[in-house]
Amino acid sequence: MALHLLVRLQAPLIAFGGEAIDNYGVIRSYPALSMVTGLLGNALGWDRSDADLHNRLQARLRLGTRLDNTGQRLNDFQTAQLDAGDKGWTTAGSVEERRGGSSSYDSPHLRYRDYHANLDALLALRLEPADESPILEDLAQALDKPIRPLFIGRKPCLPIGRLVAGWIEASNVLEALQLAPGQTKGPMRLQWPEGEGRLEGCDRLLDVCDERNWSSGVHGGWRPVREALISSEEARP
């Protein structure tokens, strides 16, 4: 049996970002491994330039997700007339200035962003090896008292409550998701890493590209995961 940290992601809007194409920002059904790594790194006070820290944390992370409420998908059309002299805030507390030539600001900036509305996602995660710093308890403490403001995917997506949802002793990530309280009576969607449990006859195996090379800032590579849509009765271990 291994200790797993439960994290609940709830917000009016959530963005489990996928591959951005031009001015379209799409979303995935489940949070990417890189997104959760970034969320934890932000809580710990790490900077994006701390590539070695992020890469190592991402490699150690064993992550599964249970969608207790899939909510609805919302497409937001955004338009803004920006000026070269405009400034903006950052979560680091420093002022961000605009770049580009003067012709970059002749027309409004148009873009589309997808969001999950009223989604309720429960994460079960652990670290391997468990005794390497940061340990799982360090992550829980950082989520409760983050060094910087936390958001779920994009800056407007602020959580509505405490992220830490408790602890579970389980033999693998799937069992942790099954044992965790708060399951709904209707069908539930789950995703967990290959090798972290099976739902024979119910799950499917697929590859996802959701790991970030924090040195180059580029996503690449594939990892195998299992997904399932099951009833609350099937969810019991």
Interior/surface letters 196-207, b for 16+ CB within 10 angstroms, e for the rest: bbebeeebeeee
Architecture of domain 2-16+28-73+118-230: 2-Layer Sandwich (3.30)
Among 75-79, 92-96, 133-137, 216-220, name the most confident range.
133-137
Q: For residue 67, which of 13, 29, 18 has the smallest C-alpha distance? A: 29
Using the structure block, give the residue that is written with the tokens 């693998």. Answer: 172
Q: What is the pLDDT of residue 204?
A: 96
Q: What's the pTM value of the predicted model, to 2 decimals? A: 0.87
Whether the predicted pLDDT of 105 surpasses 90? no
Boundaries of every domain in the chain: 2-16+28-73+118-230
pLDDT digits (tens, 9 = 90+) for 4-25: 999 999 999 999 987 777 777 7
For the stretch 124-174, pLDDT in tens is 999 999 999 999 999 999 999 999 999 999 988 999 999 999 999 999 999
Q: Give percent of the chain with pLDDT exceeding 70.
A: 86
